[in-house]
Chains A and B, each alone.
Chain A
Amino acid sequence: MISLTDIKKGLLVSLWFVFLTFPLMVIKINPIDKVILWRWSNMYWVAGGSFLCYLAMQIYKTRKLTRQEHIKQGLIKEKPKMQFKLLSDPKIYLPTLAVAGLFFLAFPLLFSTYQTNIMITALMYVVLGLGLNIVVGVAGLLDLGYVAFYAVGAYSYALLHLHFGLGFWEVLPIGGLLAASFGILLGFPVLRLRGDYLAIVTLGFGEIIRLILENWNEFSHGPSGISNIPRPGFFGIHLGLEQSITYLYYLMILMVIFTIFVVNRLQSSRIGRAWFALREDEIACQAMGIDKTKTKLTAFALGAFWAGMVGVIFAAKTTFVNPASFTFLESAIILCIVVLGGMGSIIGVIIAALILILLPEYLRAFSDYRMLVFGAVLVIMMVFRPQGIVANIRRTYTVQKND
């Protein structure tokens, strides 16, 4: 499996990484007291780690190559993917779905309020992920300012409550619609741009909105934010903290189900097909009579809609909003969810959101490395598995032959 040259090359690679990381990983200085800290152990970690990574990659590559070779020669058949079987066989996926459904329904009864709170956050990211998935995963528009729409939702609840005393249920659709309108407003000029420019412009817009929230004190109360935002009411009954968290949890579950329903229907519709086609080839798409701008705009606005709604829920959950919650990193996390889950894949995005949000919460050791891992995930997925953990499945049709 591993040849001598592989090992030699691996050693060279590890040597290179030791060199590369030496100043930053090994040396640590304190410029004020003028002391140097030499952290030699880090060097051994880097050396060992990069060596093993290299070998693992080599093995992965050769295995992939031989597999392809065998498939070409017809020695082995291309296996239908395990996950496709899992997802298409009702005998397997129905019970799984039932168990998962029961688990999520019983969650607040089984676990503490603290845990429920974490799960609410994870579910919020599920919805955010599904929303961004429409834009990035399905329509192929790299939106790096998604968090701006989230902020629009959150601030619309905070401000509409503050100035007009509007409640959660009134603002929930308003927040979504406001975010969608912002999406259209922003989308109109920028959706003509090429993909990579679009990414930068949306990133710029996201930052502009955050900076405005931070500096425009009269409007947004600046960096200190707005507090005392009420939690959602339950038909006028006052809920205690614990009850209201449980309530919010079930609300989130409903929201997730609603999102899945809508996103699924959209994707398998005429418009959803146009989105997928747009992602695949814009020029061919136009030549087939699809209005590029309009189709993109719909995707953009619908994606923003979910972010706006979750923003309202976020404000209600934390009872407090400030600009610090809406940085670029937030957009990056949501993007990471979509990429890890698989562009366009609903199940994938749900699983990815749960993994990426819950894992750092439960593995404390992991939580420091959270953003590092998110960055690495983006790169690794693009290089090794661009289709994500659960590839998007195209709908199949049965053809009746009438001969």
Chain B
Amino acid sequence: MDYFTELFFSGLTRGSIYALIALGYTMVYGIIGLINFAHGEIYMIGAFTALITSTILNIYGFPLPAVIILTVLASTIWAAAYGFTVEKLAYQPLRNAPRLSPLISAIGMSIFLQNYVLLAQTSDFLPFPALIPDFKFMEPYAGVIGTSDMLILVTTAVVMLLLTWLIKFTRTGKAMRATAQDQKMAMLVGINVDRVISITFIIGSALAAIGGLLIASHIGQINFYIGFIAGIKAFTAAVLGGIGSVPGAVLGSFILGLTESFATGYVSSDYEDVFAFSLLVLILIFRPSGLLGKASIEKV
């Protein structure tokens, strides 16, 4: 029972992280219909920026709350900046190109960013400082859920709520939904589509950075390659839930996180990644519209 609960919470934690990344995929896909391959790399860059910022602040002896706040700020800002720039450089010029072109460009961007970090920083795993101290009040539950798991869950929940609010109730959110539905019409009614797309990338990237930061401090080490696998898994989650759908991405992430956690816990950890990939392949083959996505017929 205890083992089960432990696996359950570790699955939830995983799921939350996937959700933070999956949202970026789903939002971008919803708006420009592109699988943003480089999204996993943005998450990795977010984690690296967090590591660098927090280490520097620690060396200069900043107090913990300041370190946390500034680290979060720096990693989201820089990740957002990267997301924005990637879109401007690699995707915007290809708005009207054949469908494969932006996809190939995205793959190129992903490889580029990976190796950029590899060259600019290092290929080794770097230890990531535990930013979050273990809270006193959590002690009785330590066997079931750690402080950082808890924090990841809470952060994710808050972020989701904020995002839902933004999409549902703000002007920007409305513009985003309009653009997702029909870009030409949105342009005709005076929505600045380029701006909306940029904002989508910025938000998605910032969310990924939060994910990167949380997972890095949870697991305790990062390297340049973490974005690739995490990216594919988050994409799996997004597809599972129905790509383009925000609640779908969250649902898919939790399902994937839990399945992975139980599968590695009860079956075998050797095939952890095989499991996620197989799930992805199976969904795409049997239910490409996902759990919450609507099957649409391409207009001819």
Contacts and interface: CB of A to CB of B under 8 A. Distances in A.
B143 interface: no
A208 B90 CA distance: 29
Contacts of B274: 207-208, 211-212, 215
Interface string A52-72: 000000000000000000000
B254 to A, nearest CB: 21
Contact of B103 (A19, A35, A195): A195
Given A25-B120, A36-B56, A372-B116, A382 B105 contact: yes
Given A190-B285, A199-B103, A332-B107, A207 B115 contact: no
A252 interface: no
Contacts of A36: 55-56, 59
A200 B108 contact: no
B166 interface: no
A34 B59 CA distance: 6
A193 B112 contact: no
Contacts of A42: 120
A339 B103 contact: no
B235 A29 contact: no
Interface in B101-150: 101-105, 107-122, 126-129
Given A142-B104, A195-B100, A205-B281, A379 B59 contact: no
B162 interface: no
A24 B51 contact: no
A20 B107 contact: no
B232 A203 contact: yes
Nearest to B274: A211
Interface in B44-83: 45, 48-49, 51-53, 55-56, 58-59, 74, 78, 81-82
Contact of A199 (B35, B55, B116, B129): B35
Contacts of B278: 204, 208
A200 B235 contact: yes
Contacts of A29: 51-52, 55-56
Contact of B74 (A23, A35, A211, A374): A23
Interface residues of A, number: 58
A165 interface: no
A128 B109 CA distance: 23
Contacts of A375: 108-115
B42 interface: no
A207 B102 CA distance: 22
A234 to B, nearest CB: 40
A335 B101 CA distance: 12
Interface in A187-221: 189-190, 193-197, 199-201, 203-205, 207-208, 211-212, 215
Contact of A283 (B51, B93, B94, B300): B300
B270 A204 contact: no
Contact of B270 (A194, A215, A374): A215
B52 A382 contact: no
Nearest to B41: A375
**Majority DSSP secondary structure for residues of A touching B:** helix
| Residue picked from B45, B278, B285, most chain A C-beta under 10 Å | B285
Contact of B52 (A27, A329, A378): A27
B75 to A, nearest CB: 9
Contacts of B99: 195-196
A383 B115 contact: no
Contact of B102 (A21, A189, A203, A382): A382
Interface string B266-283: 000011011001101100
Contacts of B187: none
Nearest to B109: A379
Interface string B215-259: 000000000000010001001000100000000000000000000
Contacts of A403: none
B285 A379 contact: no
Contacts of B129: 31
Chain B CB within 10 Å, residue with most, of A21, A374, A378, A386: A378
A239 interface: no
B103 A201 contact: no
Contact of A376 (B59, B108, B228, B270): B108
Contacts of B265: none
A372 B185 CA distance: 39
Interface in A134-151: 140, 142, 144
Contacts of A265: none
A36 B214 CA distance: 23
Contacts of A377: 108
Contacts of A199: 35, 103, 107
Most chain A CB atoms below 10 A, which of B45, B97, B98: B98
Contact of A378 (B111, B116, B239, B284): B111
Contact of B111 (A23, A31, A332): A332
A241 interface: no
A368 interface: yes
Nearest to A39: B120
- Name the 5 nearest CB pairs between A and B, nearest first: A378-B108, A375-B112, A375-B111, A372-B115, A379-B108
Interface of B: 34-35, 45, 48-49, 51-53, 55-56, 58-59, 74, 78, 81-82, 85, 89-90, 93-94, 97-105, 107-122, 126-129, 228, 232, 235, 239, 270-271, 273-274, 277-278, 280-281, 284-285, 288, 298, 300
Given A193-B285, A205-B277, 19 more contacts: A24-B45, A25-B120, A28-B120, A29-B55, A34-B58, A36-B56, A208-B281, A211-B273, A283-B298, A372-B119, A375-B108, A375-B114, A377-B108, A378-B112, A379-B89, A379-B105, A379-B112, A382-B105, A382-B108
10 contacts: A23-B48, A23-B52, A28-B120, A190-B285, A204-B277, A372-B112, A375-B115, A378-B112, A382-B104, A383-B93
